[in-house]
């Protein structure tokens, strides 16, 4: 039997601090098909970033195995791009130089680098700002540069850790639209972390609901809302209303369990 594109099998992660061991993730089984847009949704501290860090190869699991495209993950690699809440850019380079930087480290030809950089400058709405330095652009534009720079390398998977969490509501809507457009034009597999239920229903094909203490998966929800989506049109749809209610009910049960756990 062929393995799913992303395959997490019985993954556990513990952290040792002082004399105590904290189990952060327990019994994580997750298979993701190539090209899927998956959101990890859950409260603070439930281990969402830890799952991303394991997939990126920044951390190693304590137990279990993680495979991407048949390869066991043991270290970071450019085939798994990460976009963080705060864009990690080179402030001394221009917008364009930031985007072409990873390609220049590869064996790509000058023509390919120029074409790809141009394509992603256009797609992310940065063309007019290509010669600006990073300190001259807004937070939303920095996230556009981070998106373009991740995408230009055509990673097998894109790991996004609350990439729009620090943006205002209006900029966030624009970024969600840019991301969706990029994904529809150049399908890649995306694992996107958020605490925002509406954002997960707007973006994802599938929502993995997590709970904490220890971090685990508590539901796996298919999101079949028709595309193209905007928050105004999906908010009226029965499937959106029902999925949101379902997620809130599960979260409510978890809150009750947490209150019992803490007392």
Chain contacts with Mg ion (rule: CB under 5 A): 49
15 vs 112 by CB, closer to Mg ion: 15
Do the beta carbons of residue 154 and residue 79 sit within 8 Å? no
Strands 6-17 and 20-32: antiparallel
Partner that binds at residue 46, options Mg ion, ligand ATP, none, CB closer than 5 to 8 Å by kind: ligand ATP
Partner that binds at residue 47, options Mg ion, ligand ATP, none, CB closer than 5 to 8 Å by kind: ligand ATP
Q: Distance between CA 124 and CA 182 in Å, rounded?
A: 8
Partner that binds at residue 45, options ligand ATP, Mg ion, none, CB closer than 5 to 8 Å by kind: ligand ATP
* Cβ partners under 8 Å of residue 73, min gap 6: 54, 55, 57, 66, 67, 80
Minimum CB separation from ligand ATP for residue 87, in Å? 17
Going along the chain, which residue ranges are E strands?
A: 6-17, 20-32, 37-41, 63-68, 71-72, 80-83, 157-161, 189-194, 206-211, 216-222
CB atoms within 10 A of CB 169: 8
Minimum CB separation from Mg ion for residue 88, in Å? 15
85 vs 237 by CB, closer to Mg ion: 85
4 vs 165 by CB, closer to Mg ion: 165
195 vs 246 by CB, closer to ligand ATP: 195
Minimum CB separation from ligand ATP for residue 250, in Å? 16
Minimum CB separation from Mg ion for residue 153, in Å? 23
8 vs 103 by CB, closer to Mg ion: 8
Partner that binds at residue 17, options ligand ATP, Mg ion, none, CB closer than 5 to 8 Å by kind: ligand ATP
Q: Distance between CA 126 and CA 236 in Å, rounded?
A: 32
* Cβ partners under 8 Å of residue 233, min gap 6: none
Partner that binds at residue 50, options Mg ion, ligand ATP, none, CB closer than 5 to 8 Å by kind: ligand ATP
Which residues here bind ligand ATP, judged by CB under 6 A?
A: 15, 17, 24, 42, 44-50, 195
Do the beta carbons of residue 57 and residue 159 sit within 8 Å? no
């Amino acid at each position: 039997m062929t393995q799913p594109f992303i395959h997490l099998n019985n993954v556990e992660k513990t952290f040792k601090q002082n004399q105590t061991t904290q189990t952060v993730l327990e019994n994580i089984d997750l298979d993701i098909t190539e090209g899927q847009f998956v959101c990890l949704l859950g409260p603070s501290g439930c281990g969402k970033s830890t799952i991303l860090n394991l997939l990126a190869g920044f951390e190693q699991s304590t137990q279990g195995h993680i495979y991407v495209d048949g390869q066991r993950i043991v270290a970071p690699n450019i085939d798994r791009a990460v976009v963080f809440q705060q864009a990690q850019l080179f402030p001394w380079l221009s917008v364009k130089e930031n985007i072409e930087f990873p390609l220049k480290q590869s064996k790509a030809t000058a023509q390919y680098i120029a074409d790809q950089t141009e394509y992603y400058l256009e797609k992310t709405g940065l063309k007019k700002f290509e010669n600006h330095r990073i300190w001259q652009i807004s937070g939303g534009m920095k996230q556009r540069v981070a998106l373009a720079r991740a995408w230009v390398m055509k990673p097998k998977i894109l790991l996004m850790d609350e990439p729009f969490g620090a943006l205002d509501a209006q900029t966030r809507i624009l970024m969600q639209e840019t991301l969706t457009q990029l994904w529809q034009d150049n399908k890649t597999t995306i694992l996107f972390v958020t605490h925002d239920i509406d954002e997960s229903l707007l973006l994802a094909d599938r929502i993995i609901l997590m709970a904490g203490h220890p971090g685990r998966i508590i539901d796996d929800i298919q999101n079949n809302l028709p595309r193209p989506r905007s928050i105004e049109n999906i908010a009226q749809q029965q499937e959106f209303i029902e999925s949101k209610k379902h997620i809130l009910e599960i979260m409510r049960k978890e809150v009750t369990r947490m209150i019992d756990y803490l007392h």
